[in-house]
Amino acid sequence: AQSVTQPDIHITVSEGASLELRCNYSYGATPYLFWYVQSPGQGLQLLLKYFSGDTLVQGIKGFEAEFKRSQSSFNLRKPSVHWSDAAEYFCAVAFSGTYKYIFGTGTRLKVLA
Amino acid sequence: ETGVTQSPTHLIKTRGQQVTLRCSSQSGHNTVSWYQQALGQGPQFIFQYYREEENGRGNFPPRFSGLQFPNYSSELNVNALELDDSALYLCASSSFRGPNYGYTFGSGTRLTVV
């Protein structure tokens, strides 16, 4: 079955530190890949997406993600975290010919001042 | 441009009751999807509507049903509510039937079943 794994349930970083959130998927074909952010009580905001081409994609708010086919991974990174980045982050995949996202269980980010 | 608007933002229902949640899609979007997000979990796909027809369905029982209207707004109906139906219900719209370009999500309706 298709699945998305976000191995880190919680991550705490200091403001100004770098960040990497991990995402792995299980499926033979290359999916469409997404990262969403959810602030408390809010819906999901799209940070970035990957369909094909350059495996390093840039998103909003200074985030980037790298697709590694050999590792079935799509990790999210930010060089310097801001206190406003504290939120929950979801990795999602979708496949050509289907209509739905498959989401990971999320990583909750806490930022220390 | 307007975003995706969901109503109500919160509601409390009793087990066995029925509930209707509403979603106004973003202007120009003809596809609406509904997701259920239980506490501490990622969203789970319920179903999608494209041009007023159900276009795909996740692993949810028939008591979860929906509608899409000519203006592309949508409703999610849940009958015979169970305690496990307590969740955040998210609506997402897109101008494409497939997920390729990313969906725009609303802020959700928090449903509590007691």
Contact at 8 Å (CB) between B114 and B13? Answer: yes
Strands B44-50 and A3-5: unpaired
CA-CA-CA-CA dihedral for B75, B109, A43, A97, to nearest 10? -30
Chain A positions in Cβ-Cβ contact with residue B97 (cut-off 8 Å) = 99
Q: What angle do CA A7, A99, A58 make, to 5 degrees?
A: 55
What's the pLDDT tens digit per position in B92-113? 998 876 666 678 899 999 999 9
Shortest CA distance from A9: residue in chain B: B40
Q: How confident is the model at residue B45, as a pLDDT?
A: 94
**Up-side HSE of residue A51: CA atoms within 13 Å toward CB?**
6
Type of residue numbered A93: V
Q: How far apart are CA A13 and CA A31, in angstroms?
A: 30
If you count residue pairs, one on A and one on B, with CB atoms under 8 Å apart, how many are there? 68
Q: How far is A47 from chain B (nearest CA, A)?
A: 10
| CB–CB contact A103 B42 (8 Å) | yes
The string of DSSP codes covering chain B is ----EEE-SEEEE-TT--EEEEEEPPTT--EEEEEEE-TTS--EEEEEEETTEEEEE-S--TTEEEEE-TTS-EEEEE-S--GGG-EEEEEEEESSSSSTT-PEE---EEEEE-
Shortest CA distance from B98: residue in chain A: A99
Q: How far is A66 from chain B (nearest CA, A)?
A: 18
Q: How confident is the model at residue B6, as a pLDDT?
A: 96
Please name the helix (run of DSSP H) or strand (run of DSSP E) that holds residue A2, with its range, or none.
Answer: none
Evaluate the omega torsion of the peptide bond into residue A31 and state whether it is cis, within 30 degrees of 0.
Answer: no
What's the pLDDT tens digit per position in B16-75? 999 999 999 988 888 999 999 999 899 999 999 988 999 889 999 999 999 999 988 999
The answer, yes or no, to whether residue A6 has pLDDT greater than 70, is: yes
CB atoms within 10 A of CB B9: 11
Q: How far apart are CA B93 and CA B5, in angstroms?
A: 10
From the list A4, A44, A97, the residue facing B105 with the nearest CB is A44
Q: Give Dmax (Cα) for chain A.
A: 45
| CB–CB contact A106 B41 (8 Å) | yes
**3-class DSSP assignment, residue A85:** helix
Q: How confident is the model at residue B97, as a pLDDT?
A: 62
Q: Supply A80's token pair.
A: 């310097």
Shortest CA distance from A44: residue in chain B: B105
Q: How confident is the model at residue A38, as a pLDDT?
A: 94
Contact at 8 Å (CB) between B48 and B56? Answer: yes
Q: How far apart are CA A81 and CA B37, in angstroms?
A: 27
